[in-house]
A and B are shown apart, each in its own frame.
Chain A
Amino acid sequence: GENVEQHPSTLSVQEGDSAVIKCTYSDSASNYFPWYKQELGKGPQLIIDIRSNVGEKKDQRIAVTLNKTAKHFSLHITETQPEDSAVYFCAARANSGNTPLVFGKGTRLSVIA
């Protein structure tokens, strides 16, 4: 089955700097890769996703890149703000039937003002 590794487990950056979180996956059949942000006391919120037919996707300060050959994908947050502080989870899934998402272990991002 799919295995998703996520690094780092914690990340501290100064406000205004960039943050990068990296994930690797094991199943070459996986073709959908979402990123979730979870704030304290809340459920995970989808912030961006990418499918395997695309190498990069950007939404304002957030971007995701995918390297299918190396089986890794990354989240990039530019011009970080204190409200970006949260736990971020990557996930992967093969796009067939009810195959569920497999999550990475999460990265706790702290943006220091």
Chain B
Amino acid sequence: DTEVTQTPKHLVMGMTNKKSLKCEQHMGHRAMYWYKQKAKKPPELMFVYSYEKLSINESVPSRFSPECPNSSLLNLHLHALQPEDSALYLCASRPDANYGYTFGSGTRLTVV
């Protein structure tokens, strides 16, 4: 298995909803990432997990809450989002510092 799997592929949520995005990889990668990508822009780093511990939080608002339950899973919990949070949310992983990222296909999030 050489993929990063993200679910759901599409999500529409209201501003008062609570939802979660899920990311899974079975490649044994120990670093996992959440990125946010707006249209026609590069991916923007949100969080980095290394060996299941949060190592980087790029000053992301608390309405985004990451969780790494085990070495294969990464979740992003969403609560009280704003319409401007609508974007493609990408998960990525890599085995160690000598390699590039493998990205998932993303979750297209729309906040209404």
Residue on B nearest A94 in the bound complex, by CB? B97
B81 lies within 8 A of chain A by Cβ: no
User: 8 Å CB contacts to A: which residues of B1-37?
Assistant: 4, 6, 31, 33
Give the chain A neighbours of B41 by CB distance below 8 A: 105-106
Within the complex, the shortest CB–CB distance from B38 to chain A, in Å, comes to: 12
Q: Return the contact of A43 from the options B97, B98, B106 (Cβ within 8 A).
A: B106
User: 8 Å CB contacts to A: which residues of B79-112?
Assistant: 90, 92, 97-98, 100-106, 108
Evaluate whether A106 and B100 lie within 8 angstroms (CB atoms) in the complex, with A44-B90, A98-B50 already known.
no
A-contact 0/1 string along B30-72, CB 8 Å cutoff: 0101000000111101001010000110000000000000000
B-contact 0/1 string along A16-36, CB 8 Å cutoff: 000000000000000010101
Q: Return the contact of A96 from the options B33, B97, B106 (Cβ within 8 A).
A: B97
Residue on A nearest B4 in the bound complex, by CB? A43
The distance in angstroms between the C-alpha atoms of A49 and B90, with both chains bound, is 20
The distance in angstroms between the C-alpha atoms of A106 and B106, with both chains bound, is 18
Q: A100, B33: Cβ atoms under 8 Å?
A: yes
Q: B100, A105: Cβ atoms under 8 Å?
A: no
The distance in angstroms between the C-alpha atoms of A7 and B83, with both chains bound, is 31
Give the chain A neighbours of B100 by CB distance below 8 A: 32, 34, 46, 49, 101
The distance in angstroms between the C-alpha atoms of A42 and B88, with both chains bound, is 9
The distance in angstroms between the C-alpha atoms of A42 and B106, with both chains bound, is 7
Within the complex, the shortest CB–CB distance from A110 to chain B, in Å, comes to: 14
A95 lies within 8 A of chain B by Cβ: yes
The distance in angstroms between the C-alpha atoms of A94 and B106, with both chains bound, is 26
Residue on A nearest B51 in the bound complex, by CB? A98
Q: A104, B42: Cβ atoms under 8 Å?
A: yes
> What are some 8 contacts across the A-B interface (CB < 8 A)?
A43-B90, A44-B90, A95-B97, A98-B31, A100-B45, A101-B100, A101-B101, A106-B41
